Every structure is written in C-alpha cells, then in structure tokens.
Amino acid sequence: MKKIIGLILFINSSAVISEENSHDVTKTSPTQAPPAENLLEDRLIKRRIAEADQLSLIPYRENYLVYSYLINGVNQQPIDDAFPNEEHSFRDYELQFQLSFMVPLWTDILDAPVSLYGAYTNRSFWQFFDPEDSRPFRETNHEPELWVSWYYDFKWGDLNAPMIWFGFRHQSNGQYVSMSRGWNRWYVKAFADYQRLSFSLIHWDRLQGGAPEDRQYDYEKFIGNGEIELDYAFNKSDLGLKYAYSLAGTEFGSVTAEFSHPISPTIAFYVRYFNGYGESLIDVEYKSETISMGIKLNEW
C-alpha cells in the first residue's frame, strides 16, 4: 500500500509545480531527499523522478521471489478432481513470485484532483523442486485492475488522509472447467497515515455473472469482503499486517504478516506469513498456512 500512496500524492499535485521546479526535482536523487514527517510524504519525495513521465510502468504491489513452505500441505483436491485417472503429488515447498506494475493513464482529469490508473499483478506458485514432473506451475493468478483516484488531502495534525479510490478488479487463474477460478468486483479504498504508520481500508462487492464453473464458489465468504492493511516503517525496515475480513464470520478471511529490510540499493530481504483462505484462487475454499522467505524489489 505505502508504495503507491506517494505516487498518487505526487501525480495529483504535479499540476501546481512549475516547469522550473519540476526540472529541479528530476535532478535530485530520492536517496538525497530529506525525510518527511509522515510516511506518505516520504514516499512522495522518493518517487518524484520515476513519476515524472506519464504512462511509465511503476511498481504497484510487492515484486518478490520467495521460497514457501506450506505448513498444512498443498491442496491436492482440485487437480485430483480434474484428472482422476492420474496420480499427483505436489510438494509442500515451492517457489512463489509476484510481478506487479501500475501506470497513470490520465492525470488531473479536466484540471480536477481526479486521475485514472491501471495495473496488472501476476502471482505464480511454482513447483520448482519437482524435476520428475518437469517443475510445473501449480497455479498462476492474473489480476488486471482499473481505478479512479480522488485526491482531497485531509489533514488533522499528524494525521493525513490524502485520497480515496473507486475501482474495478478482475482476478482469474486462466484454467478450464473444474480448475477454473475467477471473479470480478467493484471496490472503494481509503488511505491514511500517522507519522511512520500508514493505513488503508478496502471494501469490495462481487459482480454477478461469469462462467458457470466460477459462480459455484463463494469468493466473498471465504476470501472476504474487504481488507484492512497497516504498514509501519522503522530503521529502513517495513513491517506490514493485512487482515482480509469476511462478513460471514471470523473463521473466514485471512491474516498476512510481512517484514522486509533492504540488503542492497535494489533488493530487500523479505519474510511473509499467511494464514487463511484464498492465498491462491485454486485454494478459495481451502484454509492454508504458509511461511515464505526470499527477496523483493525495493520500492526505490
């Protein structure tokens, strides 16, 4: 979450920056910029160079490569149901990676503090340590996204609430028949921060329709109706907590805890713990517990 807030703050405020000042900003290294009092303002300073050009690809969610251990094992049921005459035995450890980018499509629409963005996120679950079966991809999820950001910049002391999003997400795994999973949803997402702590709340509503094989799954019940995300930055490290809440009860949804610390200018050590439903779409109704460790790209 914190990675993209500075981006929106800069893009929506860029209309008031003079050409001369913009030129000065692009000559300033993000690492040389003085730290801001608020986490979002600090992200803003560090992103100015990359955000100067519209239609440039910018990191959106985490971009990472991790070794993952599935504590309660892999969900074998979907592939066993799809291919009952074949023997399958996925391993409880694998590589997982995520690639996620966003692009500003139309900023300051009609000179208003409103902008349009697009994004794409690919998350893959790779049985890399299974050479006997040609190291198959157990699951790959695709998530294109489109949203409008309204920048209103509410401040109350150290509390900063800069913007709200109205968007659309499609998520699917590109499989056929019994292996197919996919859903569409509208969402509203609000952001805030207090000094080095950032916060976001997203609530979504599933759009009805889609393939018959997808409609049989209750995505909102298991994955949740929204998500609360907290992120705290300290000593160059980041500590994050996500809670996907389900209105069907606290036994559904999921909890994700993340920690990262830079080990080079471009790479950070990354640890993630997940417990709940929907870590991947194939596991929408399967409760999994996973611990992962690896690297991710630094924000800037």
> Cβ–Cβ contacts within 10 Å for residue 14, how many?
18
Q: Which pLDDT tens digit goes with each residue over 130-185?
A: 999 899 999 999 999 999 999 988 889 899 998 999 999 999 999 887 889 999 99
Q: Give the model's pLDDT for residue 146.
A: 99
Secondary structure (3-state) at 25: helix
Residue 32 pLDDT exceeds 50:
no
- State the angle between helix axes of 39-47 and 2-13 in degrees (0 to 180), rounded to the nearest 10: 70
Query: What does the pLDDT look like over 37-87, one tens digit per residue?
Result: 566 656 645 554 555 556 678 899 999 999 999 999 999 988 888 788 777
Q: Which of 168, 166, 117, 172 is nearest to 143 (CA)?
A: 172
Q: How far apart are CA 169 and CA 143, in angstroms?
A: 7
Looking only at the bridges linking them, the beta strands covering 267-277 and 197-207 are unpaired
pTM of the model: 0.85
The per-residue pLDDT for range 262-300, each reduced to its tens digit, is 999 999 999 999 999 999 999 999 999 999 999 999 875
Highest CATH level, class, for 58-297:
mainly beta
Mean pLDDT of the chain: 85
C-alpha span between 89 and 19 (Å, rounded):
60
Contacts of 101 (CB under 8 A, 6+ apart): 57, 58, 59, 60, 119, 120
Dihedral (Cα; 46, 17, 39, 36), 10-degree rounding: 80
Q: Percent of the chain at pLDDT above 70?
A: 80
Which two structure tokens, joined as six digits, stand for 233? 């930055």
Share of the chain residues as helix, strand and coil, in percent rounded to the nearest 5: 20, 50, 30
Phi, psi of 84, deg, nearest 5: -65, -20
Report whether 232 contacts 262 (CB < 8 A). no
